A and B are shown apart, each in its own frame.
Chain A
Amino acid sequence: SQQGEEDPQALSIQEGENATMNCSYKTSINNLQWYRQNSGRGLVHLILIRSNEREKHSGRLRVTLDTSKKSSSLLITASRAADTASYFCALDFYGNNRLAFGKGNQVVVIP
């Protein structure tokens, strides 16, 4: 079935370090989105990158998209303890009328 595959599935880093996670997919997309989910809460939209874009920034977040490799990366710079969460990539496939969510990356930032 169509969905993103994130890696690593779990990441533990020290506060102040950068965290990078990747998402790969198999068929063409309209756009790719990243969401954050804090423990016990709903998902929060972070950033959307369209298929004709290569890089986007939002605060400490940087997202890249390589459509030739069918992969995206999310970089969180200067991580904080509050960044501890699960991060999901979500794919908008052409003609699908829905987002396909990956299984999520668990990121733990140690103060």
Chain B
Amino acid sequence: DTAVSQTPKYLVTQMGNDKSIKCEQNLGHDTMYWYKQDSKKFLKIMFSYNNKELIINETVPNRFSPKSPDKAHLNLHINSLELGDSAVYFCASSPRTSGAYNEQFFGPGTRLTVL
């Protein structure tokens, strides 16, 4: 009965490869997010979807492409991986984007290591 789940938990890959991370939430939330957390624990938003529509697309290289097949899923595909992509990637969901009741629920994270 995990609220927000991500797979895989760990991903080790070579530079230049393409990889995907999957996220699912069973909370019935309308909004989902992808964050990148660097080694200094700074949490940077990458993308946000509301009801399958992209609403936030931060200055992220276009090698990163999110896809939301339905409200409960938000996947992240990364092409041509680079060393600097090594980080922990978190998926999150919230009932709303702003105002009351916009607290976010986070997945356990995917630690990506690019060699």
Contacts and interface: CB of A to CB of B under 8 A. Distances in A.
A81 interface: no
A98 B48 contact: yes
A48 B103 contact: yes
A15 B43 CA distance: 28
B72 to A, nearest CB: 17
A45 B98 contact: no
A5 interface: no
Contact of B42 (A30, A92, A97, A103): A103
User: What is the predominant secondary structure among interface residues of chain B facing chain A?
Assistant: loop
A79 interface: no
Interface in A45-62: 45, 48, 50
Interface stretch (B61-69, B73-81, B104-112): B104-112
B15 to A, nearest CB: 25
Contacts of A90: 104
B115 interface: no
Nearest to A95: B98
Interface stretch (A19-27, A36-44, A63-71): A36-44
B99 interface: yes
A72 interface: no
Interface string B76-115: 0000000000000010100001111011111111000000
Contacts of A33: 103
Given A43-B90, A104-B41, A99 B104 contact: yes
User: What is the predominant secondary structure among interface residues of chain A facing chain B?
Assistant: strand
Contacts of B103: 33, 45, 48
B48 A42 contact: no
B55 A41 contact: no
A96 B98 contact: yes
B40 A30 contact: no
Contacts of B106: 35, 42-44
B47 to A, nearest CB: 10
B27 interface: no
Interface of B: 4, 33, 40-43, 45, 48, 55-56, 90, 92, 97-100, 102-109
